[in-house]
Structure 1
């Protein structure tokens, strides 16, 4: 993988789209929040950037848009989300679309919150054209079909009636429900075999069947998988804090970039996984 910083400093005019996933932002992890703000600064420095995709699990937990929208102006001034919204709005004004997809952690995220910065909530599977190739974008949890318990849970949680029920609960009740769900998930995952929490090959084959490539996150296992039928599966990486015990820690993530190389004869567009890092 090439360095994302190198990509920005040497080929800034060629980066057209940036794709990220699994940031798991929360006030308990300020380093990740600062790294995301740093990425937005990098995006603002890219003169030809047209799209930023956030493919799920943007937040560690999302209990409903009203958690932020119901705040007073004074409360918003000191809220940890406000700097993110401000910088995203600046990016949108600069001409970059911001497209946000649900993940398994933030499936209650709604369009009203995205409206604060001019973003658009998109749904999986999402079709993306990269040059002459058709890409299928999704978060990735629906591909983990070997995990039967999770898929049953996912089906229930993605039901509009369930979401309506949750969003109409008082915030304190939602907090308790989310905390209970998180503890159960951690306990269940600790007893699961690693392969169960990864994608199922048949599910991947079905997903990529009518496309040239599949792009997702969720599994926290960034890689490029070349399939027998010349199809490719790209896996974005999660954002994580490294070297916490050292004086200067680092946030690292594997993200995606769509790059167009402009020449006299033609324009060549390609997708690549690149590494983004931020020194805390």
Structure 2
């Protein structure tokens, strides 16, 4: 993907909104904050990358999607209708996107990490789940989650049952991971390790991921950085491309 923003335009990156948790009320306040951020982005955005886990759970049945998030989806439609490029990556919580967001809001939905060029800056962007060393259990589960037969089976569950089970599983998974998410693991940061290994094969100026939930801006090699976008449950961090560089920022700090 090649982007050529005008000198007065910027490119924005954010991930891990996890809309829907921990309660409807708290999620709604976060949704309104995200909309305020999107309104700011709209003023000068060429492209907005939303890099996965926008929803804590999302599954598109043939004629049904999870209820709620109307303000967020409406704002994305408004941004797309304004001619701003909107790129959405699936994450491990919302990987079951099957065309609804493409059709309804005009987003480009991406399922795997991709190369992106902004002017002469080269990026490698993905949600970050299932890559890097370790985490073999999830890598196995991801193959099941993306298997068309198992997706077909899940569709036969009534949405009340399917979404209820998914929300229970999601909450349990998040509780188990909470301590790791808040702690910098040094050389054991698996996405940082992945970026270092990639850099030995091919140069990128920036490796941009979500998933980790910890805002990180780390050197990968000479003239190369790994940026983790953090999340919006606690940090409300995002990245901004302007004047040939990408910086990690906080919204309404």
- Is TM > 0.5 for Structure 1 vs Structure 2? yes
| TM-aligned CA deviation for residue 271 of structure 1 | 1.7
Q: What are structure 2's unaligned runs of at least 5 residues? A: 1-6
Pairwise mapping of residues 114-263 of structure 1 onto structure 2 (< 5 A)? 114-186=102-174, 188-189=176-177, 195=185, 198-199=189-190, 202-208=193-199, 209-212=201-204, 213-241=206-234, 252-260=235-243
| TM-aligned CA deviation for residue 154 of structure 1 | 1.9
Pairwise mapping of residues 64-143 of structure 1 onto structure 2 (< 5 A)? 64=60, 66-68=63-65, 80-143=68-131
Contact preservation (8 Å) 1:98, 1:119: yes
Q: Does residue 12 of structure 2 align to residue 18 of structure 1?
A: yes
| TM-aligned CA deviation for residue 180 of structure 1 | 4.0
Pairwise mapping of residues 4-43 of structure 1 onto structure 2 (< 5 A)? 14-26=8-20, 27-28=24-25, 29-43=27-41
Q: What are structure 1's unaligned runs of at least 5 residues? A: 1-12, 70-78, 242-251, 261-268
**Does the C-alpha gap of structure 1 residues 192 and 50 become closer, same or farther in structure 2, counting only changes over 3 Å?**
closer
| TM-aligned CA deviation for residue 185 of structure 1 | 1.9
| TM-aligned CA deviation for residue 63 of structure 1 | 2.7
Moved more, 166-175 or 199-208: 199-208
Query: Is the partner of 1:153 in helix, strand or coil?
Result: helix
Q: Report the Cα distance in structure 2 between the residues aligned to 1:55 and 1:211, rounded to whole angstroms.
A: 21
Q: Report the Cα distance in structure 1 between the residues aligned to 2:41 and 2:208, rounded to whole angstroms.
A: 20
Give the aligned CA root-mean-square deviation in angstroms: 2.8
Contact preservation (8 Å) 1:25, 1:60: yes
Contact preservation (8 Å) 2:218, 2:225: yes
Larger Rg: 1
Q: TM-score, normalised by structure 1?
A: 0.74
Q: Report the Cα distance in structure 1 between the residues aligned to 2:177 and 2:229, rounded to whole angstroms.
A: 21
**Aligned with residue 271 of structure 1, among 239, 246, 252:** 246
Contact preservation (8 Å) 2:18, 2:54: yes
**Does the C-alpha gap of structure 1 residues 80 and 188 become closer, same or farther in structure 2, counting only changes over 3 Å?**
closer
